[in-house]
Chain A
Amino acid sequence: MGYAYSPFNPLIWLIFIGFCIITYVIVKLFHRRYPHYPDAPENEEKMEGVQEAQTRGKSSAARWACAETGQPEKRPHVGRIK
């Protein structure tokens, strides 16, 4: 009851930190299980970039679209904001 109105309520912060850890672990496990997600491996040579973003010039998606012919092995995942 002593922490009911305290900003340092230990139970709430414990639950919140646990939530952060669980979320991070779920994403990590998901990416470990599906290492190419969401790109199918055979998709690597087919992607043509972000059509809409290509008109925007400055966006990272457009930069990726322009760079893909030069460095295909380092291409980030589709539509990624870097």
Chain B
Amino acid sequence: MPANVDELVVRVADICTYKWDMIRNRPLAYLISGFAGGAMVVFGATLALAVSAGVPEKLAPGLSNLLMGLVFMFSLVIIMVSGMTLVTADMYIGVIGIFHRRISWGWFVWGVTLGYVGNFLGSMFFMWLISKSAAFAYMPWLVRAHAIGVAKMGQTAGQIFAMGIVCTWMLQTAAILYVKAEGDIAKIAMAAYGPLAFVAGMTEHCIANIGFLALPLFQQDVYLDVVSRMPEVTPVILHWGFGQFGWAHNQLFTVLGNLVGGILFIGIVFQLVSHPQRVMEIYRDKKNHMLRL
């Protein structure tokens, strides 16, 4: 029997205590788990790029998105099953922990920051490694990676922010239902839904975008060399900074959108839907206040 919403918020608060206990007492371990979690996210991004390159749009406009989502969806499963850190999940966990007085605002901000740094390092390092392999520096993957970069980094701030909110709304719905579900199959199904939805839905996830958008930048020299022999192609130059086609431009507004989506539409919504008196009843007989994912 899956947990009801009252039991669910208590479980999430217990996970919060476990995670922030690690942040408090073993910050390096938390940073390393963030590194592993960030790399696991871009495992999915790499697979998504591998299967979606060269799919003709005439066949079905959404087919490449579906393929990307199908191979991306196990990223969250492996993160959740292995107990590694994904900062966007910690956003809703932390805010429920604040409601349950497990952590303060200061610890929340510190935990999210540390998780982001760990995820950043893992995501960026993995994609740097991929770029060094040159496995995706050939047609059609080279052009596909660049096209994804142009599409994502070419959006306005408002578009990125909106799709960042949608992303964590979808993804954290899956993540919190993973906690709610009982049994391995149900948990895997719940966790798989999140990345499938946010990738097939063309939304913006800050950790996925760190590596996903870094790859075309790492390979830009090769790309420009290839397209210089294609007179019909006018190359768009990507860059690391702010402004249109900038990596930092996408990252900034994706992070802001992800914060709003995860905290407001998942953490706060589930907490306010739970019944405070029934939650307090659960606490009355409760002895263990930590739960590992």
Closest Cβ of chain B: how far from A38's Cβ, in Å?
A: 5
Assess whether B289 is in contact with A78, with CB atoms less than 8 Å apart.
Answer: yes
Determine the distance from Cα of A12 to Cα of B279 in the docked complex, in whole angstroms: 36
Q: Which among A16, A22, A58, A79 is the interface contact of B256 at CB below 8 angstroms?
A: A16
Determine the distance from Cα of A41 to Cα of B247 in the docked complex, in whole angstroms: 51
Determine the distance from Cα of A16 to Cα of B286 in the docked complex, in whole angstroms: 37
A40 — which chain B residues lie within 8 A by C-beta? Answer: 280-281, 283-284
Which B259-293 residues have C-beta < 8 A from chain A?
259-260, 263-264, 268, 271-272, 276, 279-281, 283-284, 286-290
Q: Which among A7, A46, A48, A61 is the interface contact of B252 at CB below 8 angstroms?
A: A7
Q: Which among A9, A36, A59, A77 is the interface contact of B157 at CB below 8 angstroms?
A: A9
Q: Which residue of A lies closest to B154 (CB)?
A: A5
B131 sits at the interface (CB 8 A): no
A53 — which chain B residues lie within 8 A by C-beta? Answer: 21, 289-290
B287 — which chain A residues lie within 8 A by C-beta? Answer: 47-49, 51
B252 — which chain A residues lie within 8 A by C-beta? Answer: 7
B5 sits at the interface (CB 8 A): no
Assess whether A12 is in contact with B253, with CB atoms less than 8 Å apart.
Answer: yes
Q: Which residue of B lies closest to A57 (CB)?
A: B25
A6 sits at the interface (CB 8 A): yes
B242 sits at the interface (CB 8 A): yes
Assess whether A77 is in contact with B102, with CB atoms less than 8 Å apart.
Answer: yes
Say yes or no: A38-B101 contact (C-beta < 8 A), given A4-B156, A50-B289, A51-B288.
Answer: yes
In the complex, which range does the number of interface residues on chain B fall in? 35 or more
Contact pattern, B 212-229, Cβ under 8 Å of A = 1, otherwise 0: 000000000000000000
B280 — which chain A residues lie within 8 A by C-beta? Answer: 34, 36-40, 43
Q: Which residue of B lies closest to A37 (CB)?
A: B276
Q: Which residue of A lies closest to B246 (CB)?
A: A5
Which B19-71 residues have C-beta < 8 A from chain A?
20-21, 23-25
Determine the distance from Cα of A9 to Cα of B100 in the docked complex, in whole angstroms: 34
Where chain B touches its partner, the secondary structure class is helix
Determine the distance from Cα of A37 to Cα of B156 in the docked complex, in whole angstroms: 42
A22 — which chain B residues lie within 8 A by C-beta? Answer: 264
B140 sits at the interface (CB 8 A): no
Determine the distance from Cα of A16 to Cα of B101 in the docked complex, in whole angstroms: 24
B103 sits at the interface (CB 8 A): yes
B17 sits at the interface (CB 8 A): yes
B204 sits at the interface (CB 8 A): no
Determine the distance from Cα of A36 to Cα of B182 in the docked complex, in whole angstroms: 30
Contact pattern, B 68-108, Cβ under 8 Å of A = 1, otherwise 0: 00000000000000000000000000010011111111010
Determine the distance from Cα of A42 to Cα of B281 in the docked complex, in whole angstroms: 11
Assess whether A16 is in contact with B17, with CB atoms less than 8 Å apart.
Answer: no
Contact pattern, B 237-259, Cβ under 8 Å of A = 1, otherwise 0: 00000111010110011001001
A-to-B contact residues, CB < 8 Å:
3-7, 9, 11-12, 15-16, 19, 22-24, 26-27, 30-31, 34, 36-40, 42-43, 46-53, 56, 58-61, 76-82
